[in-house]
Structure 1
């Protein structure tokens, strides 16, 4: 079994000033750190003022950008290498998810995991192998690491939203369709959104789609949202 590396990173408390009733974990991409995605907390916090946000730094110093972090090395990108790397990192991420849920007194149904690029790889790889489904997974510009045993290893089936730029030069746009096909075969509900002219990144329309997904998976209707904003 892989060793557990304690994870931590920047945090944002609920916008309403109360105790967390929801938790959003944000997983950054290769060579970045938690500060890269914690910037999404104010935006999503308008919709989820009762949510705490945390963006852990990945467990390893990046071997291609030493000022950042990586979930695992991408020097080798063969399927077996990706699987081995994700499997090793999953132990630490699993422990972090458990720790954060316990800290806030929350359950899996209160959790959404958002990933970008390699963070999307880890969100999908880890959350689908956890015994209880989280509320949802949002993946920007990533791919599904398929070791050929997805169907037998998938233990939970939370709703998934994948968003990908059609002009992505880092993670090919075609990876989104491949992920959708495999996830669907595994019984995971998935929706995909192509972003025309977008390269490897997150655009405003993608953020709007993600915000709408958060509303749906947390079953928040427009009246609830308006009330939350007034109370905030």
Structure 2
């Protein structure tokens, strides 16, 4: 399956990193590509890609996985089903930019965070970073048996998020840390199920530090 995607070339003209955005339920790649508007000036060597979800959402927009309650085991099954098409997309985007798999970063929002974590922990070569907003891990009980790589992870979450409560992020950090993943959770006071300027700043700092670390130490 070929995914429709928006793309932004590296401002420098020569990409050294690829950031792929994975949107939330009922959204599209275009919405998360707006993050690149904030980040491009500090990331001139980064190319950006933002695919639309695998299927239409019944409320409009697209989805990666079903709209299900937190903790529903079918969320994990949905993530597994979505994985082959997304992994193929990531590999094709890296190849198009002549970049190795260690030059990838995944950035998700809500169910896009679910997919970013699911994909990033199961790639043969660890991405440089996985950054998730307002979402967390599914299939925590299966992680130890399935984890292949351990990219650094940051999860940023609004303290007032009523749709995906903060405790889900905290639980994800605990499980990831126990699995040996370097993981940081950042609660944002006063923020709901959304991303604000503070959250974007936290994310940019994390990505830049992860790129610098990978540049120095390799995959």
What interval of TM-score do these two structures reach, taking the shorter chain for normalisation?
over 0.9
State the superposition RMSD in angstroms.
1.3
1:12 shift after superposition = 0.8
The Cα of 1:120 is off from its aligned counterpart by 0.2
2:110 to 101, 109, 117: 117
Residue 172 of structure 1 is matched in structure 2 by 165
User: 1:142 pairs with 116, 135, 139, which one?
Assistant: 135
Unaligned runs of 5+ in 1: 221-232
Contact kept in structure 1, 2:70 and 2:164, CA below 8 Å: no
Matches within 5 A, 1:69-218: 69-75=62-68, 78-218=71-211
Instruction: Give the CA deviation at 1:47.
Output: 1.5
Residue number in structure 1 paired with 2:4: 8
Q: Give me the TM-score of the superposition, normalised by structure 1.
A: 0.88
Give the alignment partner of residue 24 of structure 2, picking from 7, 26, 29.
Answer: 29
Report the CA distance shift for 1:75/1:149 in structure 2 as closer, same or farther (over 3 A): closer
Check if 1:50 corresponds to 2:45.
yes
- The number of aligned residues is 213
Quote the Cα distance in structure 2 between the aligned partners of 1:163 and 1:71.
20
TM-score normalised over the length of structure 2: 0.93
**1:76 offset after TM fit, Å?**
5.8
- Contact 1:79–1:147 under 8 Å retained in 2: no
What stretches of structure 2 of length at least 5 have no aligned partner? 214-219
Instruction: Quote the Cα distance in structure 2 between the aligned partners of 1:76 and 1:87.
Output: 17
Q: What's the secondary structure of 2:141's corresponding residue?
A: coil
CA drift of 1:79 comes to 3.2
Change (3 A) 1:76 1:139: closer
Residue 227 of structure 1 aligns with which residue? Answer: none
1:8 CA displacement = 2.3
Larger gyration radius, structure 1 or structure 2 = 1
